[in-house]
Structure 1
């Protein structure tokens, strides 16, 4: 089975979104450190360790996301622990950059993100309290941290939904491709069966007629009987060739024009048997699956053949109706001279073929006529 390739957006082919965020975060870290006004070596040590953890996160994020997330948590916690001692806003900037990025990671659970966020807020509040700052100053930095965590989680949810939507889209495409492949295989199997049935029926009947002609000539010297058998053989060969051509046309996806084909079939029968075949169609014409078209055309030919064989000289009426949700083919001929009232192998085979197309076939005497009615859903 094939795998549907992933479709990537143009910006992602230039630079993935995660890489852009990493680069921007690194630039913010660098700018913050360059503009920091600190003289305390301990604070600079915390800044240095936090920066090293950020760089480790950037390098390890594509390959080892769990380790990268742990480094990012350290990068946010160290500056948060010294915001009260810092002489400017550098510490809080470093902390919220790392914390905000941590909140967007899809490789970490929401509970873990909230846990680290609350830890950083607690460290910031403690740092401000130890530095003896006012309540307003103590709550300002934790408020900014909380806001960044919420914004990061919102972005994370968007990425999760986008990933799920992409996965669902790929699964849908894959399912559609597999459905189309299965439908194509089913159609080819059906056509192979049609060809097999056509050839088996036509060649079998043709062989019987030729054997009969041979027997009439060699055993009885009946030239007229042999000539009739040869003529029947020729008609069987022509009918088999026409059915095989229709099956090949369906295989090539050249869906038969149903109304025109039935009209031509009726005209050919009228010409060959010197009878009247009245054909008409009603309803709004619409395309049908090739399986249904081939089955309906085959049923029309079989019904006409039976009429010519068992009710010679009788006129035939054939109607094609496009109704709501169904297409009907109704073939009738006078029952008066009909020499057979049972269903032969021809109609039985057509019933099976029509069933494969989801349709149904009924045949039998009705109101003084022999009626063959085929219905397919459409």
Structure 2
């Protein structure tokens, strides 16, 4: 016999925040017991008012068995019952109802066999079992009806009427398919909600990791450099080299100022995530009086990739202004099928009287190179290809 699909679900219904649909629960908990109870009460009242004249004990016996089996199929925890128990209950319900159909036609008892046919289609997982039980019940009903007619029992009915007891089987099958469809839809909805919640949690974790990398790249390197300079100043001061110690303190202050600026730019970059990447890079270039050119067809990129491009552009522009004051800086953002490439070039020091700033710690490009490696990309920082003068920073990341 086929396995009952409901066996995989808890007996009490779904366990998460989405309860089972109300139509199926209403049908199981109210409609079926109400119909069984109504037929049972009417049958017993009619038997009490007009007791069977012939073979009364047999008529009473089968009617009571049919009522008991029908009540059992409605009130027992069906999903917890073994498969053979379910089949047995429906078979007894059908057989007792088939006999009552012919022996108690002047009561509500004939309705029990029709209800048994519906129950077989709705409650049994195996269609083969349902059709077998209902087919046997139809044959039994026709046989008992023929015997009752042969014995000239009162209220016999036409022979063909007993063949209709199998028709409600299709009603039961339709109800079962509808209940299964509702259960599948409910399960799909709950799985969709769980998937959406999982995606939201994953996005939140990615965002937290991205912010953590920003803090590490900006503040971590700056604070490490400050700590090194202050330790050096303390050692120089202890050695009586006050002038060198003061110079170390000044370098630490310069690192602090630079770190504050980098922090502000990082915050600005985090807030710029809602803008398209080309527009964000264009704004950074415009704010730094640098040139900007877009090449290729822009498209969607991952948030962490966009953030790495933004941070590299900021760091490269800062380094160019610091080490090559007065130089012309140009940014090229290039989209390809597989890569996104940012190239930042400067022309070298254009103002002969300008003095390069040597206060940088050199940790910015180190952090950018580490970030590019984590994303599966590369970062090149070095002299431009001859004969072009100046410096080039090139970041390549997979899209």
2:99 aligns with 81
Aligned 8 A contact 1:58 1:68 in 2: no
1:173 aligns with 193
Q: Kindly tell me: are residues 76 and 226 of structure 1, through their superposed partners in 2, closer, same or farther at Cα, counting changes over 3 Å?
A: closer
Aligned residue pair count: 355
The separation in 2 between residues aligned to 1:353 and 1:294, in whole angstroms, is 10
1:162 corresponds to 2:182 = yes
1:201 to 205, 221, 228: 221
Q: Kindly tell me: are residues 55 and 356 of structure 1, through their superposed partners in 2, closer, same or farther at Cα, counting changes over 3 Å?
A: same
The separation in 2 between residues aligned to 1:212 and 1:261, in whole angstroms, is 39
Q: Which runs of 5+ in 1 are unaligned?
A: 271-275, 339-343
State the SS of the aligned residue for 2:345.
strand
1:341 aligns with none
1:20 corresponds to 2:30 = yes
Q: TM-score, normalised by structure 1?
A: 0.73
1:45 aligns with 61
The separation in 2 between residues aligned to 1:166 and 1:256, in whole angstroms, is 35
Once the two structures are overlaid, the 10-residue window that deviates more, 31-40 or 230-239, is 31-40
The separation in 1 between residues aligned to 2:195 and 2:180, in whole angstroms, is 22
Q: Deviations over 1:191-234 (max 9, x none)?
A: 32432333221112234455677759963837996697366334
How much has 1:111 moved relative to structure 2?
3.5
The separation in 2 between residues aligned to 1:260 and 1:87, in whole angstroms, is 85
Q: Kindly tell me: are residues 59 and 300 of structure 1, through their superposed partners in 2, closer, same or farther at Cα, counting changes over 3 Å?
A: same
State the SS of the aligned residue for 1:314.
coil
Q: Deviations over 1:239-265 (max 9, x none)?
A: 343356358x57xxx846456764564
Asked which structure has the greater RCO (Cα within 8 Å, sep 6+), the reply is 2
The separation in 1 between residues aligned to 2:377 and 2:185, in whole angstroms, is 39
Question: Over the residues paired in the alignment, what is the CA RMSD in angstroms?
Answer: 4.3
The separation in 2 between residues aligned to 1:170 and 1:288, in whole angstroms, is 30
Q: Deviations over 1:277-309 (max 9, x none)?
A: 224568898886543343222101221233235
Q: TM-score, normalised by structure 2?
A: 0.69
Aligned 8 A contact 1:77 1:120 in 2: yes
The separation in 2 between residues aligned to 1:24 and 1:375, in whole angstroms, is 73
1:330 corresponds to 2:330 = no
Q: Which runs of 5+ in 2 are unaligned?
A: 1-14, 151-156, 351-355, 357-361
Q: Kindly tell me: are residues 165 and 9 of structure 1, through their superposed partners in 2, closer, same or farther at Cα, counting changes over 3 Å?
A: closer
How much has 1:5 moved relative to structure 2?
1.0
Q: Kindly tell me: are residues 146 and 87 of structure 1, through their superposed partners in 2, closer, same or farther at Cα, counting changes over 3 Å?
A: closer
